[in-house]
Structure 1
Amino acid sequence: MAIRCLLALLILQVALARDYYDILKVPKGAADSVIKRSYRKLALQYHPDKVKGSEEEKAAAAKKFADINHAYEVLSSEEKRRIYNRYGEDGLKQHGAQGGGGGGGGAADIFSQFFGGAFGGGFGFGGGEEEEQTPKGHNVRVDLEVSLRDLYVGTTVRVLRDKPVARPAKGTRKCNCRNKVVTRQLGPGMFQQFQQQECQECPNVAYARETEALNVAVEPGMSDRQEVVFFEEGEPLLDGEPGDLNFVLRTRPHVRFERAGNDLRHNLTISLVDALVGFSTEVEHLDGHKVHVAAAGVIVPGHVVRLPGEGMPLFEHPDRHGDLFITVTVAFPKALTEKQKAAVRETFKGLHDEL
């Protein structure tokens, strides 16, 4: 019994452990420069001063921002990264090398190293020197079809990416060309300014095609047309950084459910008898669990039953859900026999007078 409890505890710890590479959206073997650039982009995206919305959305962004900073603190350290790769987050704790982990001053310090005096005691973006912009290749946008069930429970889609990669080639080339402003004095009080191009000789390169497998994480509650970004997986650029690869989620229509924000809508057809006396039935949800639906009394076509908490999970809050709205449609018989008509008339005799 004790061994079973220990195994369950270990499994729970593994499930709850954070994947620092996934947080920074980089592969496990990523170079330090790739980790650094990915951190820079994510830190700006989730910085509390950059996120607009409700207090809950801002709180979620602040937590994400702290996780991003903690992940970078670990992966940017050769010692911490080595321990993490071998023993995971628990190993960092045992070696006392986990770092800040909770944001606060640690997150501010790491962020300020990238963006100069951007904090000034708070989270503002004023001050500091503007970072030099590095040329980037073109971003690539790819539509990725997913099912409504994928967006409900989450999934991982494996995609093969065929891309051009720069490889060493024979010879040299002129690169890093830039225009330099030159000032020449022509005489007393007379100056001439002109631009002069400077070039450097660099090793030559050639493009080759390379196929790489990417795992696109579709998280519960993601929305249609939401983008999943793979930094520097876009088109390469000589003497610059590669662009990004953006997967745009496209939801395939579902035969039974329709999404409306965080809510779900479903059409339920019942018989005329059920419409007159009430009904009780079950509807199979996207993940296979059964949802009980019932209504008493006479139900008119178009009646809506609302089931709280049976809608889509909220993105980054998968423990919370929208609602499920079920619209009732009544299936009328195509025809009645004379005997059935007489029985109906007898059954509802005097009902018109009561109404």
Structure 2
Amino acid sequence: MVQATVALHHRLSLQVSFPDLLIDLLYIPQSLPSSIFICSYFQHIGDGRLIKRRIRDGKGEFPMDCPLQDSRLCVHYKGMLLDEKKIVFYDTKVDNDGEPLEFSLGEGLVPEGFEMCVRLMLPEEVSHVTCLPDYAYDKFTRPDNVSEGAYVEWVIELLGFEMKKDWTGMDFRAIMNDVENTKSTGNRLFKEGKFALAKAKYDKVLHEFNHVNPQDDEEGKEFANTRNLLNLNVVACYLKMGDCRKSIETCNKVLDANPVHVKALYRRGMAYMETGDFEEARRDFKRMMSIDKSSEVNAKAALLKLKQTEQAALNFPSRYALICWPRSEELEGLTSNYPNRFKVYYVLNQILRCGPPPMNKAMAALKLWDMNQI
């Protein structure tokens, strides 16, 4: 549920609740004189920590004419610190020789809050955005004059945008060239540690692949190899994001199509090792060597790491406990990610969870417990 506030000239306000996450609200009281009108209206986005206020209407119909999908955007913007002095830390009309900023959505090129809001803008719209630090520059490269934890305001003008071309009417070679460009962008995002954004790039291509029909055996082989590589890139993202179960499921898709795919066996083995399924991991690493002798170096290194991981697990006390309340989605995910090493105990209104590391990365204090006393 999202709260929307409409500010009126006569200092009255209307509080309205909506089930939608994105709100475009306009309210004109019939009982007021025509000279009394709404001076602004707000969009509280997501959890309300990001507020977008439109100060000039754009052209088109909301939200159909907004750049909801990844597009190439052209904007002017001014960034200010949210303090009494309203210090301007960047203005494209001043600091960029008057040239607008051009960037592509979905590539981590602007702060998260900036991108979330500009996706909801119409061409020629001007909006004022108030943003908390975690959506602004705490997780993004900060300008020199913006300190850590700074609250910011942006005034954004969307000059226009260009939608990415779809594959309709394109031949196979043109499609594969476009795939390579998108994959390269995903690879760059992965190297920058933006794993969710990288995964979104790979997922988008995989989804579009459902509508591609290779015309001969050569195209079919290239198509299948590319799809497998994209799936394995998704696996790498899942591993970095700590979702081992989905890593294994995605590896299985590749291995169902090609049971002797060495790279898929390797990454599935690494995922099994993370979940504590040591025998499954060992089986995958040994199978690698039986299929391809050139993979022995990687397989033996993985088996050595597996041995060290097993020994480390034995050296830890048999049980750890995490207490957390209220219920947390991140903690809930640990149960499925580590089914053989992680148990759930409910104690009154607290959740008691037991298992050895790496579960200690969860969002709660880690304590050693004697489970026999419970």
TM-score by length of 1: 0.20
Larger fraction in helix = 2
- TM-score with structure 2 length normalisation? 0.19
Greater RCO (Cα-Cα under 8 Å, separation 6 or more): 1
Structure showing the higher strand proportion among its residues: 1
